[in-house]
Every structure is written in C-alpha cells, then in structure tokens.
Structure 1
Amino acid sequence: MATIPKKWLQRKIADLESCREDIPFGLDENDHNMLIALKIALTSLEAKPVAWTDDEELRDVKQYGLGEIYQCPPDKYADLRRVIPMYREPPAPAVPDGLVRAVRFYEQVKRENPPVETGVWKDAIDWVTKEACQAVDIGIKGE
C-alpha cells in the first residue's frame, strides 16, 4: 500500500472539475471516469466513525453475544489507548499501490496523448476503474 495525501487527491479532483466547466471541451469520457475514481478514493480516506467501543465490550460480544457501543466520541477523560472507533464501512488507511500506478500511467498517457486507435487510452481508464473498484471492494461490470 502506498500513501497518497488527501490534499493530492483534492487537488487532482479540483483540476478535473475546473476542466469540466471549460466550454466547448469540458471532460471527455476518460477524464470523467478518472474524476469518479478519484472521488471514490477520497471518500474512502474521509470515513468517519459512527460509534465507539473498547476492548472489554468486544470481549463481551465474543463471550455473551452482546456488548455496548457509544454514539458519541469519548470524553476528554477516556483512555484513548482503549477506545476503538467503529465505521459503517472499513476505512481505507492508504491507497493501494495498483491504483497509484494506474493513475500515474493515466497521467503519462494524457501527457503523451497517443492516437486513440492504439487503445492506450482505453487501457488506462480500464486499469484506473478496476483498481478504484478494488480499493472500495465493489464489483466491476463484466467480471
């Protein structure tokens, strides 16, 4: 796993969104798909806990089948070493290496701008889409 700073993702998204407003060009299908993939990656980095618990409650769940969770963050007196945040979906602590490589390949293709007939544009978008879907653990149409 490689770590991509949140600011980098926000900057790339802002760049693509500013291009979307350009008339008459705007975003082509490839850039549009890239924007969606980057937004998915950013969303996974911004996951917020929906509840909190601790080790003792998790042991109770294992032993008795139930335990307590708390809807509000722990107060300032809580032992933060024991507090366990709980998420609706597992947070993505880092961006997978495959997605990083796919985005860099896409950027290289965009800089070099090869003819569409070579199929490189499609390969770049397909790779980014596949890696982004794997990063958030969703299936891809056709697989």
Structure 2
Amino acid sequence: MTTITKERLLTIKQWRETYGPGSNVVLPAEEAEELARIVLASLEAEPVAWMCDDEDGREYNGHNEFSYGRRGIPLYAVPPAPNGLVKAVAFYEQVKRENPPVETGAWKDAVDWVLKQACQAVNTGINERRTIEENDD
C-alpha cells in the first residue's frame, strides 16, 4: 500500500497551475487507489460523538443520535466530504468517461464551469458555517 504524504498532495494540487487547465497528467495507479480509498473513507465517515442540548440550552455529549430523546448534531473526527462536491466530481468523471477527450471548446468549458461552481458552493457553505461559529463566541 502506498502512503501519500502531505508534500505529495500539495504537488498534485499544483498540477493545474504547473501544466495548465485541461492538461493530462499521469498519476500512478497505486496513488490513485490510495486517494480513492481516502475519499471513500471520508464519504463513509461515522460520527464519533453527538452534541445535544437540554431544555436550559446546556450542551452535552450524547451517546447516539437520539440521546435522551433529543436530536443530536453529529461530530466527526474528520468531516465527511460535502455531498455537492461529491456529486460534481462524479458528474465530471462521468462526462470524461462518456465523451472523447477534448483540450478546448465549449463542452469542456461547460464541464469545468460546473465543477468550479460546485466547489465554490461547497467552500461558501463551509465559510458561512465558520463565520456563524465564530460569531457565536
């Protein structure tokens, strides 16, 4: 099994800037498999605890989703991948599989736009949650 280091992930992240949008790069099968394993584990992440509150607004850690008859908020060691991003990446991969590769053109631009919009929507949601959490202090 291959271990992917933070440095390697940063290198992969820079490929678009290094080689340009739409460039094909080679990722060893072992690394692709390890990245897929990590993403799948993230998608299937289970909460490690539940945050609940009582009638007085006091918070406590629940044992499960319905501790003491109340709906809890799941807490994760590592947050699962956002659903919108997962769908966008799946769409992008499906389009790549079902259509001949193109380096330029309106079709590629449209697909890239959809992926970019999904990523921005996910990032906006994350940033909005952080802002709300920071304001709660």
Q: TM-score higher than 0.5 here?
A: no
TM-score, normalising length: structure 2: 0.40
